[in-house]
Amino acid sequence: SSRVLWTLAVTQFKNLPGVRELFQQQGPAVSKRTRGEMHRMVNADYYGYRDEDDGILLEIERDAERKAIEDTVSEWQAAQDTKQKKKK
């Protein structure tokens, strides 16, 4: 069956020169951070409380707010114009 052939192929592959060593190599030990270590890394920057300190974000928000207001006013004016045309 194909499963037997696959098993034989993998076994033969592992016996090739240099392949066995690849499977036996251990990677570097990775130490996981503890909950306390991760908690110590959380500060005001993590929550974004200092995003406005450099002034760049405030400028971007001001421009976006100005554009949103202009868009809303123009939509309102278009709706008012449509109402006026229907009354005539």
Distance, in Å, from the CA atom of 29 to the CA atom of 59, rounded to the nearest integer, reads 46
pLDDT at 6: 82
Q: Which has the higher per-residue pLDDT, 2 or 69? A: 69
For residue 19, what are the contacts with CB-CB under 8 A and spacing of at least 6? Answer: 13
pLDDT at 17: 80
Distance, in Å, from the CA atom of 55 to the CA atom of 61, rounded to the nearest integer, reads 10
Q: Is the pLDDT of residue 80 over 80?
A: yes
